[in-house]
Chains A and B, each alone.
Chain A
Amino acid sequence: MSKDECDGAGAVVERAKTRGGGCWWSGIVMTVVGAVALAGGAGFAIRFGTEGDQATIAGVVAGMGFAMILMGVITAWLGRPGRPIDAATSGEGAQRDKLQRARTRQLVIYPLVLLLFMAQAHMAMQRVLGGDHNLGAYVQILLPVLYGWLIPVLVMGWDWHAQKNRRLLEDELTQVMRARSMILAFVVLMSGVTVALGLGLWRANYGVMALPYVLALGGASAGLRFAWLDREAGRDG
């Protein structure tokens, strides 16, 4: 290795160390906040019982806390002090690939999570439409809707992480894949709303029940289409 290459590798390792330090502390903070949410939610449910609105909200807070602990532990592990740093896999090209792979992974995982939330929301919707105006049920309905929004936000690169790494995540291919994904999502949304309108005219309750599904499907189709195009782009030949 020449002196220039050595200097370059040294700089890359230094950059990776700095970035890793940030990941380590973010992971620790995320884990602590998650633990507090989990303990608070579980403690509340144990102390005040496991039924009613407040217990449902406590359950949602505890679940979010658990998810934050998992993400925090993984983030802290990836940025742990003293981890081996390979200059060859820490360069800009490798970093770009890593970030783009992570984005694609998110866009596959989120629609799956959305499916779980949707199952939960279906029962909650039946309760609300049956006249049980329970705050917890509204929260359960809101979760898949929020995820339905979150996926297009990630596809569009409007999230904080994408903004921070804009230079590495925004290339021409990404813009083309984004446009194609959002076109599909728009068609799915238009079709879904049309079906929901038809259902609503027939039975008003069915029309309302269909809307969270439509939002979730629209969001999920954007994410899954993007992930599919990204996979296709990586194929040789």
Chain B
Amino acid sequence: MGDPRLGSRLKELRSAAGLTQQGLADRAGVSRKTINTVENGVFVPSTVLALELARALETTVETLFFLKD
């Protein structure tokens, strides 16, 4: 499910926004497990979900995710 090339700052930005996994999940309309697996790099979100997460955290997809060199 995961991809070693994908880096994520989701946990960092969520904590900075003062949100719990459940809080972010509620804002993005997904389950807490979805947030957990994205943060752990177990699950690569689709473009739509990445955009929803970025909107929920009031940031951009590029800030949330990046390609590892």
Interface of A toward B, CB cutoff 8 Å: 91-93, 96-97, 100, 171-174, 176, 180, 230, 232-237
Q: Tell me whether A97 and B32 are in contact in the complex, defined as CB-CB below 8 angstroms, given that A92-B26, A237-B40 are known contacts.
A: yes
- Total interface residues on B, using CB and 8 Å? 17
CB within 8 Å for A96 and B31 given contacts A91-B26, A172-B49, A176-B1: yes
Within 8 A of A (CB), among B21-37: 22, 25-26, 30-34, 36-37
* B65 interfacial contact with A, CB 8 Å: no
Further pairs besides A96-B31, A172-B46, A174-B31: 19, Cβ < 8 Å: A92-B26, A93-B22, A93-B26, A96-B25, A97-B32, A100-B33, A171-B30, A171-B34, A173-B31, A173-B33, A230-B33, A232-B42, A233-B33, A233-B36, A233-B42, A234-B33, A234-B36, A235-B36, A237-B40
> Hey, which chain B residues are within 8 Å of A100, CB to CB?
31, 33
Interface flags, B34-55, vs A, CB<8A=1, else 0: 1011001011011001000000
- Given known A92-B26, A93-B26, contact A172–B34 (CB-CB < 8 A): yes
Which of A93, A232, A234, A236 has the most B CB atoms < 10 Å from its CB?
A: A93
Contact A173 B43 (CB under 8 A): yes
Query: What residues on A are CB-neighbors of B40 within 8 Å?
Result: 236-237
Which of B30, B31, B36, B43 is within 8 Å of A176, CB to CB? B43
**In the complex, what residue of chain A is closest to B38 when comparing beta carbons?**
A173
Complex CA gap A222/B34 in Å reads: 20
Q: CB-CB < 8 A to A93: which residues of B?
A: 22, 25-26, 32
How far is it, in angstroms, between the C-alpha of A100 and the C-alpha of B26 when the chains are bound? 15
Q: B23's closest neighbor in chain A, by CB?
A: A93
A-B contact pairs, 24 of them (CB 8 A): A93-B32, A97-B32, A171-B30, A171-B31, A172-B43, A172-B45, A172-B49, A173-B30, A173-B31, A173-B33, A173-B34, A174-B31, A176-B43, A180-B1, A230-B33, A232-B42, A233-B36, A233-B42, A233-B43, A234-B32, A234-B33, A234-B36, A236-B36, A236-B40
CB closest residue in chain A, given B39:
A236
A236, chain B: closest CB distance, angstroms: 7
When chains A and B are docked, how far (Å) is the Cα of A230 from the Cα of B1? Answer: 13
- Looking across the interface, which residue of chain B has its beta carbon closest to that of A93? B26
**Residue among A91, A96, A100, A180 with most chain B CB within 10 A:** A96
Interface pairs A-B: 6 shortest CB-CB: A233-B33, A93-B26, A173-B34, A171-B30, A233-B37, A234-B33
List B contacts of A180 (CB < 8 A). 1
Q: What is the distance, in angstroms, from B60's C-beta to the closest C-beta of chain A? A: 20
Report chain B residues within 8 Å CB of A234.
32-33, 36
